Amino acid sequence: MKARVLIRPKDGILDPQGQAVERALPALGFGGAANVRVGRLVELDVEDGSRLDEMCERLLANPLIEDYEVQVIE
Amino acid sequence: MKARVLIRPKDGILDPQGQAVERALPALGFGGAANVRVGRLVELDVEDGSRLDEMCERLLANPLIEDYEVQVIE
């Protein structure tokens, strides 16, 4: 199966990349953007989808400062 | 509106983060993972969703080496 993991900084955790994007957008003429958060995207094929949460906890995300969401693509 | 942008290395472009994850998984006891690709996730609120592609081309992604996909969340 093909899976996608969305990894985001937790609410309240500083997101310097998101802040940088949010400041850069108006400078490039894109007004009206807010609440920009930058995270990571991991896509992979796995044989056993039941272990994806465990993979996230142990390797893909840092559960102290990041939330993750697993999506099964196909 | 709330939008999500998925940014991935293009096919054929080296993905060292993906390779590192792919090598680390078996070492942690997770067999059977393949084709791991690591990209970026950007979520933001925008007033004008019609300019999201342009934002990706100009700031969020590097169109030379990355593909992007815009999703409208709400």
**DSSP letter (8 states) at residue B32:** S
Residues 31..70 of B with a Cβ closer than 8 Å to A: which? 31-48, 51, 54-55, 58-60
pTM comes to: 0.94
The range of the structural domain enclosing residue A56 comes to 2-72
Selecting from B36, B40, B55 the residue whose C-beta is nearest the C-beta of A25 gives: B55
What is the helix (H) or strand (E) element at residue B3, kind and residue range? strand B2-9
**DSSP letter (8 states) at residue B56:** I
Q: What is the pLDDT of residues B21-54, one digit of tens each?
A: 999 999 999 999 999 999 999 999 999 999 999 9
Q: What is the pLDDT of residues A27-74, one digit of tens each?
A: 999 999 999 999 999 999 999 999 999 999 999 999 999 999 999 998
Q: Which residues of B touch A54 (CB under 8 A)?
A: 30
What's the sign of the alpha-carbon dihedral B41, B46, B51, B55? negative
What is the number of structural domains in chain B?
A: 1
Cα separation, B66 vs B39, in Å, equals 9
Q: Which two tokens stand for residue A68?
A: 């993750």
Residue pair B38/A39 in contact by the 8 Å Cβ criterion: no
Using alpha carbons, select from B3, B35, B39 the residue that is nearest to residue B22. Answer: B35
Q: In what order do the strands lie in the sheet with A2-9?
A: A66-72, A2-9, A33-46, B33-46, B2-9, B66-72
Q: Which two tokens stand for residue A52?
A: 């994806």
Task: Please state the ipTM of this predicted complex.
Answer: 0.94
Beta-bridged to residue A7, according to DSSP, are: A40, A68
Domain harbouring B14, CATH code: 3.30.1280.10
